[in-house]
Chain A
Amino acid sequence: MKLSQEQQAILDGARGETMAKVMETLVAYGDTFRAERMVPITGQYGHTVISFGLGIMKPVYDLYNELIEAGLTGGQRFTADPRPMDDKVPASPLEKLVFKKFMYSQQDRLEEQMHKLGLTSDDDYTCTCYLPQVGNIPKRGEVLSWAESSAVVYANSVLGARCNRNSGIIELFGSIAGFVPEFGLLTDEGRKASWVVEVRCEKMPEAQLLGSAIGMKVMEQVPYIKGLDKWLGTELDDKTCAYLKDFGAATASNGAVGLYHIENLTPEAKDMGEDLITEGAQVYVVDDAELERVKSSYPVVWKNADAKPRLCFVGCPHLTLQQLIDWTRAIDEGLHKNGLSRVSVPTVFTAASAVLREFEKTPYAETLRRCGVITGSLCPLMYMNNPLCKKKAVITCSNKLRTYSSARFYSEDEILTIITGREGRL
Chain B
Amino acid sequence: MKQFKGRVIVAGSCTAEALVSHGGFNTLASFQTPMMMGDKEVKCSDQNNPDLYKKPMIGKALCLPQTIGSTTGGMALYTVLSSGKQPACMLFSMTIDSLAASGAILGSIWTDAKMPVIDELGDEFLDYVKTGMQITVEPDGTVTVV
Contacts and interface: CB of A to CB of B under 8 A. Distances in A.
Interface of A: 21, 24-25, 28-29, 32-33, 49-50, 54, 56-57, 59-60, 63, 103, 147-150, 152, 164-171, 184, 215, 219-220, 252-256, 298-299, 301, 385, 387, 400, 403-404, 406
Given A50-B75, A253-B70, A256-B68, 10 more contacts: A25-B106, A29-B98, A29-B102, A32-B105, A56-B83, A59-B82, A164-B98, A168-B75, A252-B70, A404-B70
Contacts of A219: 24, 65-66, 68
Nearest to B97: A220
A403 B48 contact: yes
Interface in B1-48: 9, 24, 26, 28-29, 32-33, 35-38, 47-48
Contacts, number: 128
Interface in B48-76: 48, 65-75
Given A49-B75, A252-B70, A255-B24, A167 B47 contact: no
B15 to A, nearest CB: 25
Contacts of A403: 26, 29, 48, 69
Interface string B69-104: 111111100110011000000000000111101110
Where chain B touches its partner, the secondary structure class is helix
Contacts of B28: 404
Nearest to A301: B47
Contact of B36 (A150, A215, A385): A385
A33 B99 CA distance: 12
Nearest to A32: B101
Contact of B97 (A24, A168, A215, A256): A256
B74 A167 contact: yes
Contact of A103 (B36, B48, B75, B111): B36
22 contacts: A21-B110, A25-B106, A25-B109, A32-B101, A49-B70, A54-B36, A56-B35, A57-B75, A59-B111, A60-B75, A63-B110, A147-B72, A148-B70, A167-B106, A168-B75, A169-B106, A256-B67, A299-B47, A400-B70, A403-B69, A404-B32, A404-B70
A254 B79 CA distance: 22
Where chain A touches its partner, the secondary structure class is helix
Nearest to B27: A167
A168 B24 contact: no
Given A59-B79, A167-B71, A400-B70, A29 B36 contact: no
Contact of B99 (A60, A165, A215): A165
Nearest to B69: A253
Q: Which of B47, B48, B72 has the most CB of A within 10 A?
A: B72
Shortest beta-carbon contacts, A-B, top 4: A167-B74, A167-B102, A59-B82, A168-B75
Contacts of B109: 21, 24-25, 28
Interface size class of B (residues with CB under 8 A): 35 or more
Contact of A169 (B48, B69, B78, B97): B78
A152 B33 CA distance: 25
Nearest to B23: A216
A165 B79 contact: no
A336 B110 CA distance: 58
Q: Which of A57, A167, A403, A404 has the most CB of B within 10 A?
A: A167
Contacts of B99: 165, 167, 256
A56 B70 contact: no
Contacts of B78: 59-60, 169
A150 B114 CA distance: 31
A57 B102 contact: no
A167 B110 contact: no
Contacts of A301: 47
A103 B105 CA distance: 26
Interface string B108-143: 111100000000000000000000000000000000
A318 B92 CA distance: 34
B29 A404 contact: yes
B37 A167 contact: no
B110 A25 contact: yes
Contacts of A25: 105-106, 109-110
Nearest to B24: A219
Contacts of A164: 98
A149 B48 CA distance: 18
Nearest to A152: B71
Nearest to A28: B105
A149 B65 CA distance: 19
Contacts of A215: 68
Contacts of A103: 36
Contacts of A167: 71-75, 98-99, 102-103, 106
B140 to A, nearest CB: 17
A164 B102 CA distance: 12
Q: Which of A32, A63, A147, A387 has the most CB of B within 10 A?
A: A32
A148 to B, nearest CB: 6
Nearest to A49: B71
B74 A169 contact: yes
